[in-house]
Amino acid sequence: MGITISGRLILASASPRRIELLKLMGLDFDIMPGNIDETFRPGETAQAHVLRLSEEKALSAALRHPDAWVLGADTIVVVSGEILGKPRSPAEATEMLEKLSDRTHEVFTGFCIIRQDRGVRIREVVGSAVIFREITPDEMAWYTGTGEPYDKAGAYAVQGMGSCFIREICGSCTNVMGLPLCEVVDALKRVKAIHFEK
């Protein structure tokens, strides 16, 4: 029983959340993060941005390993049209949490699967809506003091202590974590990269 991979699988990301999610599926894979420029291009939408970055990450490993399945992904948080990156200080984290408090925001993850020697390239974007309850100043001070917000887009972790602020998620929960497992597994099955064994 388990999942068989038809060849080598490479995750072109060092994200602990993405690593955790793939391990949850019982997949065997190598980690090769791509060193790419993540600057926004003029006029680029959030969806176009995560799609481009996921493809660039995957391509960076796929060009070096053309006979492997390579998965790249990128996640972004958007509230009222404003893109929230990863906070670098308690002040920045507090500012982001204030913007998310008692509001709905969107999380977009772009993912790309490439296998160069077979000419396979799948690119998809998955969106989820996340509704936060009101976060009080003392809760913000507590949370920013935990250290959890600082490597997370939008300054919170859905799978961590930040989950106590989430009233509702409309769409994929794993997408909010950084990798929409349902869609990724569907895509890997579609190109016969993985097979489920009884």
- Active site residue ranges: 74
Instruction: Please name which of 14, 7, 1, 2 lies closest in space to residue 191, comparing C-alpha atoms.
Output: 7
Measured between alpha carbons, how far is 12 from 88 in angstroms, rounded to an integer? 24
φ/ψ (deg, to 5) at 97: -65, -35
Task: Find tokens 């029983």 and name the residue.
Answer: 1
**Cβ(141)–Cβ(97) below 8 Å:** no
Which tokens hold the place of 181?
């497992």
Give the three-class secondary structure for 186: helix
Q: What is the 3-state secondary structure (H, E, C) of 107-146?
A: EEEEEEEEEHHHCEEEEEEEEEEEEECCCCHHHHHHHHHH
